[in-house]
Amino acid sequence: MVSNSKFILFDYDGTIVNSETAILNGIKYALNFHGYELPSDNILRSNIGKPLIPVFADLTKNTNPRIHSELLQTYREWYFKASENNQINDYLYPDAFRTIKKLHLDGYILGIATNKSRSGLLEGLKRHNLIDCFTTIKTIQDTKPKPDPEMGLISISEAKVLRSNSVMIGDTISDALMSKNCEIKFIGVSWGFNSKETLLDNGALCVVNSYTELYDFIKKIFPN
């Protein structure tokens, strides 16, 4: 049965946490381990939020899928070891914890849709004490990656809500285009990896500059 509840679907990297250092270090480690030249940080940064298999294909200019899979496995092994040794240098954006907890207590249904791996996401949510806030969690290992609509549509189905009562929060064009493909609202955030102009040009209702602004805008479009 579909409820009249309001559903807020969050991206993770670049939206809830600043994980730039960890992601760049992991990609660099994988490329270096397999003998590839390291591109500039700006090039690497422009790929954050995208699925890593096509990222590695583009960075290496290698057309062999086996190589891409090996690079991904090396990245994941690095990430796992770094997590075990408390060496993942990510942090919550200002007021992210307070706002997410408040939205949860206000009765909104919260979810996450990310192109990150499930193990990496769950580790981060547990470490930041946020895992209990989210009703549905979808990663690249569960569905097709964003901007394909599958991740969003399955999340909406699991939350048992209407698309008209759903909004995506994110920082990249992948988030914007998935929202458009799902025919749901999209709010951009200015502190992530794509520009305000890119997000607005691809359908964002607005681009907020803080979690306080985000909370206020959600209350405006979805009053209790």
The pLDDT of residue 1 is 58
Of 26, 12, 24, 200, nearest in space to 93 by CA? 12
Q: What is the pLDDT of residues 208-217, one digit of tens each?
A: 999 999 999 9
Query: Using alpha carbons only, what angle is made at residue 67 by residues 61 and 70, rounded to the nearest 5 degrees?
Result: 135
What phi, psi does 189 have (nearest 5°)?
A: -120, 145
Domains and CATH numbers, the chain: 7-18+91-221 (3.40.50.1000), 20-84 (1.10.150.240)
Query: Using alpha carbons only, what angle is made at residue 97 by residues 91 and 103, rounded to the nearest 5 degrees?
Result: 145
Query: Three-class SS of residue 41?
Result: helix
The pLDDT of residue 87 is 83
Stretches in the chain below the pLDDT threshold 70: 1, 224
What is the spatial distance between Cα 192 and Cα 211, in angstroms, rounded to a whole number?
12
Structure tokens at 166: 């759903």
